[in-house]
Amino acid sequence: MKQRKSINSYESSRKSRVRFSWDFDRPPHHPTGAPARYYFQGESLARGLEAAFVRRDPLILAMAGEERDLTEILAVDGAIVAENNYAIEVIAEVKCVGRKSFRGRLVVARNDKELAQLLKAEARHLTALAARLGKAIFPPLKVGILFLPDRQRRVGQNRRVVAYTTQVAPSSVYCGIGGPDQLRAYEPSPRLFSRDATDAIKARVFELCLRSFDPNGRTAMPPPDLQRGTLRIATKQSSRSGPASDVVIAGCPYLWDHIDHVGLLHRLTGFGWKEGARAMPLLPIDQGLRRTTLIAAIGKESARAWTKDYAAALDQGRYKPHHRFGLEDLHELRETLAR
């Protein structure tokens, strides 16, 4: 998608007397993420969004909410605020008469084929996870189809891509590995988090993954991906000592499935993020933080039961101990839980 900061309004939107302005100039992309392939022009996306506003598409109605009258829109200012290899994230500022306004977030699939199916799956996952993760997840308000007209009006070249709307997530930036034990926030001036702040962020992600476990469906949310940008850090508090609440879960295209509580513990304690040649384990370094994270996620009694079952599975040879979290670490964790 070629980037153009100023895109002329589509003919039908000009007739509606709504002023549209789109800023698609250099959309944020994870600095070390895989290059994204562009399947359509920025102008096509702008025209598709304008037509959706003009015809009061259900996606836009969901974004506006039932209490707002979309016939009174005066202007729409939109910008791509993030993108990855399967989706584009747009924030729209909508101004209405009477000095009323609202903001909406629209996530659009990068194409109308396999990536559209991936985004539909993400929408299902986010809806299911919202009940267990609350404000950490931004579930779809509406899932639908966004019609993208071909710029040159060629027959058979129009596209219908999957999109969903959500509440606007907190302003956030991409996250990456800055050192062996430190994450970094990719702000205009990239900054390192302290080791304690990094441990707190890792603990928060660990907690969310534990809480996401569905024992009936045998599914769980894997740790969000750094290079896809589904793990982000809120910009309001992205400081060296920022608390764990900085974490923003921006997407979930896949779930771990056919998994039980023991398998979940084994995967999480051995999970590591990778970014180029760098790697970082998800498990917090601080032993006390591991204990409090387990208790915060599933409660003390369940934490005792889960670690007991995990220790038995290791003793039986069902799983091989991780070199960063072996039997000694597990027994030490169990002892602290017994207090």
pLDDT in tens, the chain (339 residues): 444 444 444 444 455 688 999 998 877 889 998 888 888 888 889 999 999 998 889 998 898 876 566 667 889 999 999 999 999 999 999 998 877 788 999 999 999 999 999 999 999 999 999 989 988 899 999 999 999 987 666 655 678 999 999 999 888 999 999 988 999 999 888 889 999 999 999 999 999 999 999 999 999 999 999 999 999 998 865 444 444 447 999 999 999 999 999 999 999 999 999 998 899 999 999 999 999 999 999 999 999 999 999 999 999 999 999 988 999 999 999 999 988
Q: Which residues of 114-136 are buried (b: 16+ CB within 10 A; e: fewer)?
A: ebbebbeebbebbebbbebbeeb
Q: Find all residues with CB under 8 Å of 201, minimum gap 6, and list them.
A: 175, 183, 193, 233, 242, 244, 246, 247
Element spanning 92, H or E = strand 87-96
**pLDDT number for residue 240:** 44
Tokens matching residue 135: 């404000």
Name the nearest CA neighbour of 146 among 75, 83, 90: 90
Tokens matching residue 150: 């071909």
**pLDDT number for residue 170:** 86
Residue listed under structure tokens 């609202």: 102
Strand-pairing partners, residue 228, are: none
What gap in Å lies between CA 232 and CA 28, rounded to an integer? 12
- Give the 3-state secondary structure of residue 68: coil
What gap in Å lies between CA 253 and CA 303, rounded to an integer? 28
What gap in Å lies between CA 129 and CA 193, rounded to an integer? 28
What gap in Å lies between CA 171 and CA 133, rounded to an integer? 19
What gap in Å lies between CA 317 and CA 313, rounded to an integer? 6
Residue 207: count of CB within 10 angstroms of its CB: 21
Tokens matching residue 237: 């508090």
| pTM for the full predicted model | 0.89
What gap in Å lies between CA 136 and CA 169, rounded to an integer? 9
Query: Helix, strand, coil shares of the chain as percentages rounded to 5?
Result: 35, 25, 35
- Give the 3-state secondary structure of residue 41: coil
**pLDDT number for residue 242:** 44
CB 309 within 8 A of CB 262: yes
CB 12 within 8 A of CB 46: no
Measure CA 316 to chain center.
Answer: 37
Q: Find all residues with CB under 8 Å of 222, minimum gap 6, and list them.
A: 209, 254, 255, 256, 267, 271
Residue listed under structure tokens 């040649």: 277
Name the nearest CA neighbour of 201 among 284, 143, 132: 284
Tokens matching residue 157: 């070249």
Tokens matching residue 287: 């032993």
Give the full edge-to-edge strand order of the sheet including 191-192: 191-192, 182-185, 172-179, 231-234, 247-249
